[in-house]
């Protein structure tokens, strides 16, 4: 009887080690393609530091100059252009358009908006300009 235990113990050992099992099959993990591939890897040896494999990002200032100008918008509200009781809306819009330049202006749109005036305690309807430009 001790001999049978010895035989069972031996068959368990061979099954664990990946050798042929009593049914004549090998374990699936030992038959995988990855287990059969031999890899001969080499580590490069250099006297000088190697070239960088990761390229550094281009700074945004340089990238902005290299790329075309981005499309931007500017909203000029009439209420923000009143100084000391004088309406300066036309002058502010003209100044902004001259700063941007005619070639960079894509479009100019008129807008209507409502805002709450604290001094009058009323909701007022006002107008403004929306400028779409490259800059």
Residue partners of 62: CB distance under 8 A and separation at least 6: none
Whether 9 shows a pLDDT value over 70: the answer reads: no
**87 three-state secondary structure:** strand
Over residues 112-128, the pLDDT tens digits come to 999 888 889 999 999 99
Which stretch of 38-47, 91-100, 115-124 has the lowest confidence by average pLDDT? 38-47
Over residues 63-92, the pLDDT tens digits come to 555 456 889 999 999 989 999 989 999 999
| Cα–Cα distance measured from residue 96 to residue 49, given in angstroms and rounded to the nearest whole number | 53
pLDDT score, position 112 = 96
CA–CA distance from 32 to each of 15, 36, 37, 52 (Å)? 17, 7, 9, 36
pLDDT score, position 29 = 56
């Amino acid at each position: 009887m001790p001999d049978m235990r010895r035989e069972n113990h031996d068959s368990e050992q061979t099954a664990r080690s990946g050798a042929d099992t009593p049914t004549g099959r090998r374990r699936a993990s030992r038959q995988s393609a990855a287990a059969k591939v031999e890899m001969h890897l080499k580590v490069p040896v250099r006297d000088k530091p190697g070239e960088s494999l990761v390229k550094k990002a281009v700074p945004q200032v340089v990238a902005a100059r290299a790329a075309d100008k981005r499309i931007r918008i500017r909203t000029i509200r009439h209420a923000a252009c009143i100084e000391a009781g004088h309406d300066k809306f036309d002058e502010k819009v003209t100044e902004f358009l001259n700063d941007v330049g005619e070639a960079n202006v894509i479009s100019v749109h008129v807008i209507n908006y409502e805002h709450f005036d604290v001094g009058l305690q009323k909701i007022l309807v006002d107008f403004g300009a929306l400028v779409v430009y490259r800059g």
